[in-house]
Amino acid sequence: MRRLLLINPNTSLHVSKLLSTHAQDLAGPQVQVEVRTARFGAPYIACEASYAVAAHATLDAWASALAPGEPRFDSVLIGCFGDPGLLALRQVSQLPVTGLAEASFIAAAARGRFAIVTGGERWKPMLERLAHSLGFGEQLAVIHTVAPSGAELAADPQAAHTLLAKACVDAARASGAHSVILGGAGLAGMAAIIQPWVHVPVLDSVTAGVDHALRQAQPETLQAKRVFDFAWSNVSSELAATGLVAG
């Protein structure tokens, strides 16, 4: 059986449960999805500071999950639309790594220019930077953020559906985008609900993430080993074990 490591970079157990349910349904019975929740950081990521801490938490969760004695995995998915720690983890992981945003960009770009709709006003410059750094700056048409955070939207689904449907329609019409990415772990499953009101395809970032992660999975898995050429200071024992031994 193939195994997918899904890392929730925030500390919300509610988001982890939502990710686990949707990802396992998408992956099917031949794949075991294991969600690891950040052991420190913010309950939701909505600013540069929480994003920076989440990158560390992602590396920490990866090291913990792949420590000796832990189960073996085939691929890693960062369960945040923003992919904190993506490039760092890809550089050191022996497993294929992707994130909700990167996977969504790949799926949307195949259709042409795309728009993004997500919760949290501070995400716009962060996502613009990420899209450009991953090579999707030309395909990105517009980013439309709504005031509530992803966590707040998930807490009131009915209101979220109305708000997000209008945002997707507005974003597509204003930009001429060929598709709209509905980004956010907390918004898993909402794209299909609002699709009838939107005239272009609405892509679910969790669906895109799971699909891409499973396509990238390798048949053979490897355990974590010492991959950093320096010794860590004051980090978790699992992350410290990936670096040189001090002294």
* pLDDT value, residue 149: 80
* pLDDT value, residue 231: 86
* pLDDT value, residue 247: 43
Per-residue 3-state assignment (H helix, E strand, C coil) for 183-203: ECHHHCCHHHHHHHHCCCCEE
DSSP code of 230?
S
pLDDT 10s digit of each residue in the chain, 247 long?
899 999 999 999 999 999 999 999 999 999 999 999 999 999 999 999 999 999 999 999 999 998 888 888 999 999 999 999 999 999 988 899 999 999 999 999 999 999 999 998 999 999 999 999 999 999 999 999 998 887 788 888 888 899 999 999 999 999 999 999 999 999 999 999 999 999 999 999 999 999 999 998 665 545 445 677 788 889 999 998 888 654 4
Distance CA 245, CA 247 (A): 6
Contact 218, 96 (CB under 8 A): yes
> Which run of H or of E encompasses 247?
none
Bridge partners (DSSP) listed for residue 115: 142, 180
Distances from the Cα of 201 to the Cα of 94, 115, 136, 146, 196, angstroms: 34, 11, 18, 19, 9
Distance CA 201, CA 109 (A): 12
* pLDDT value, residue 155: 81
Query: Which domains are delineated in the chain?
Result: 2-100+211-240 (3.40.50.12500), 101-205 (3.40.50.12500)
pTM, full prediction:
0.93
